[in-house]
Amino acid sequence: SSIIAVNADTGKYVWHYQETPGDEWDYDNTNPLMIADLNLKGKKVHALMQAPKTGFFYIWDAKTGKLLSAEKFAPANWASKIDMKTGRPVENPDVRYTVTKAAIVQPAPLGAHNWHPMSYSPKTGLVYIPVTVSTTGFQSADPTKFTMKERVYNTGTISSSPEITALYAKPGAPQRGNIKSYLQAWDPVNQKEVWRFDNEVYGASGTMVTASDLVFSGNANGQFAAYDARTGKQLWVVPTQASVVAAPSTYTIDGEQYVAIVVGARGLPKGVERTVQTSANNSRILVYKLGAKNALPTKVVAGASTTSRTLNPPLMSGTNEQVIDGEGAYAKYCAGCHGSNGVADKSIPDLRYSTLLRNLPEW
């Protein structure tokens, strides 16, 4: 959860900064870094900017590593603020967890902003960030009972327990799970949000801003759109017949400008139920230009999960105890990919429709 600066010519260490000392929430620091010249308090600064998992937007002097500002750009309960004298987060003591003490933490391990590229416009002075809002529970596993297992994350932590459920039930507790996502325009000089465009479902896409004040971004509902970089007004939107995760790119050929985007479902988070058929995982590169006449196929290729088929499971023959045991086994070994409560996302087969449901030996 740190940044290290080295001399590009010699490889010599220059400075470092640790964002999350004693990290217990998977706030690794692999998010994009961005360089820009900013006017901060009347001075021009060659600044380094980052919007990491933690939910704080950091600005450093790129040459010295001096922390210049750090304010929340998304909901975060793990720390109230960043101490500008020490550079350390002022932690909420309730988010540290043990075997007997559970915690609810926001953002969840995938963060308020993950690897998805953000973009900066020198014209507007704004940074365009794909923000996600999520919450998770943490509790340490009992070391006397913990055993390493294949096909699971052996982190020694628990994300679901009676203690965690009780915390979510308290008045004012944050909503559980992956909550929402939005495209945010952030003013790095004044450290505040200027506008946002809410997505209908959880799932971020990288952003691109052009010199003509257009911001391009997609969403998990299978849409690719352009927005006014100054106001956030959606100016253009097209279906992509797949989730959009990557950042767009632009280029010119013989004086014509093109915008390209790679579409297709992400690896994580799994277990996010598809809401529309157009968000199936039809992975491909889509390229657009003004005046183009081509169109996507009118027939959407069916993905791994579909709402058009009829559920026809075999009659349940297990006891209540077996059902409870099976639910626990599914949550531990299967739900991470095949979806909560058996409802698959956009890229993994939906087991509710599997022909193996009636073939127990194969299952």
Indicate which residues carry an active-site annotation: 26
Dump strand ranges (E) for 188-222.
Answer: 192-198, 208-209, 214-219
Contact yes or no for 273/202 (Cβ under 8 A): no
Residues 6 or more apart from 121 whose CB is under 8 A from it?
128, 209, 213, 229
- In angstroms, what CA-CA distances link 265 with 35, 75, 149, 218, 285? 29, 25, 28, 12, 13
Instruction: Report the distance separating Cα 297 and Cα 52, nearest Å.
Output: 38
Strand partners, 137: 104
- Tell me if residue 86 falls in helix, strand or coil: coil
Contact yes or no for 71/54 (Cβ under 8 A): no
| Ramachandran sector of residue 291 (left: φ over 0; alpha: ψ -120 to 50; beta: rest) | left
Instruction: Report the distance separating Cα 239 and Cα 279, nearest Å.
Output: 9
Q: Which residue has the tokens 């559970």?
A: 102
Instruction: Report the distance separating Cα 250 and Cα 224, nearest Å.
Output: 14
Contact yes or no for 357/363 (Cβ under 8 A): yes
Instruction: Report the distance separating Cα 77 and Cα 104, nearest Å.
Output: 9
